[in-house]
Chains A and B, each alone.
Chain A
Amino acid sequence: MIAADDVFESLIGTKYVLFVEDDEDLRELFVLMVEAFLQRRCVGVGSYEELVAMGEQALKCGTAILDINLGSSRRSGLDAYAWLRQKGYMGRIVFLTGHASHHPLVVEANRLGDAEIFTKPIEPERLRALVEGEGL
């Protein structure tokens, strides 16, 4: 994972991807995949609290990919979405969820209107579509 200070310094002129996911293995893998195959820099964040702590750095990412369920009894990806929008984040927001499309949280995410929803598992070939919104 990339250190927060490095991220901040290299953000200028670089299109970063923000990935909020509480599963550490998937978070690390996603960062590796994005950097290896899409030549993008990716910031992995494990929780809503970490996201808020990251502050401005997170807001400068071009795309935010949010897991919906960030753990039992913890702030969800919907809270992360609300925080980002509240802070004036203008980038693309994508939810990546393992939940069924009729799950109440997913239904709520659907109602947001300006966020896309992808369901896990996605095939590696679809990673570009997920990150860049191509061929959706």
Chain B
Amino acid sequence: MTLPRDLSAAHAWRGAFVAAALNAAGMPGDYLLARAIPDMPWYPSAMSSLVGLGLIALLLIRRRRATVLLGSVVFMVNTVAILVALWITSGFWAAAGRPWTPFQANKLGALAVAMLAPGLGVGLAAIAGFAATAIGKFYVLEPEVQRRLPVGEPWLILFYALFGGVLLAYRLRAVVLERETLRLEAEAGAVRQLARMFLRLRDYANTPIQIIAFTTELIRARHPDLKPDLRRLERAVKRLMELSDALTRYEADTWTAGDESLDTAMLVDQLHDGGLPKHSRSAARRSGTRSARRGASTGSRAAS
């Protein structure tokens, strides 16, 4: 069964991997677009891209031991690498004197984080990072450069950050709901499996109970002097019959196609050996069903 924790780790791993891949592939692309900008340095894009590649390698190595923490740390390191690179390159873009839509990469980053962040905290921190570096960078630019930028800058980034935050929260809520649904489905499946097993064991016990009931009646007829002793046996059988009746109420929708071919005696032997069916193993262990078979005959037959 896939546990919710596994799903969280897988989700964090995937988000971090895609973010690192976008960084590794996107930053060289950013440099190619900026190659006509005078003195645009190559190293910020290269550094960020290399960090992305390194993180991809790390994620691949740790793929089987993925955790939410690993995904979150990788995501943050990747984001910081991008932010450092953008901080440097955006200054050159702004100072180039050509028409430029400011901080596009930061705005795109804020929205991308909403789609990829492993968790709310990490996601909000990354979105805040993209917004803060754009605003911060604006205020370290020369006043003349600042005046050339479009009206509303750098505060437009805050709208992107707001939308990114809302999208992030919405997406994470959907992920939580999906995870919860999977968990409930898995639990329901395990309970159905366990119920089927209990009913098969109940069925298995019905023939021996029948034998005891008939034998008691025969002995009573043949040996009237044993009646007081047989009454105790009769009461015990009656209680077992009541138990069997009580379990009947829970049998609806428990059987599925193919169950008719299952051999209850084989199931009982499995229980005796501790070899429960895979899905119900842990649930049955909690319920103590392994001990239910102790003392019963293994050489008998399935419920008839």
Contact = CB atoms under 8 A, between A and B. Distances in A.
Nearest to A103: B255
A102 B255 contact: yes
Interface stretch (A8-16, A29-37, A54-62, A84-92): A29-37
Given A26-B214, A121-B237, A100 B304 contact: no
Given A29-B215, A123-B241, A36 B221 contact: yes
Contacts of A23: 207, 211, 300-301, 304
Contact of A29 (B214, B241, B248, B303): B214
B229 interface: no
A104 B304 contact: no
Contacts of B251: 100-102
B221 A98 contact: no
Interface stretch (B118-126, B163-171, B259-267): B259-267
Contacts of B187: none
B74 interface: no
A104 B218 contact: no
Given A98-B204, A102-B252, A120 B218 contact: no
Interface residues of A, number: 34
A39 interface: no
B244 A121 contact: yes
Contact of B304 (A33, A68, A102, A123): A68
A66 to B, nearest CB: 10
Interface of B: 199, 202-207, 209-211, 213-218, 221, 237, 240-241, 244, 248, 251-255, 257, 259-261, 263, 265-266, 300-304
Interface of A: 21-23, 25-26, 29-30, 32-33, 36-37, 67-73, 96-105, 119-124
Enumerate the 3 nearest inter-chain pairs by beta-carbon distance, A residue then B residue, closest first: A98-B206, A72-B263, A98-B303
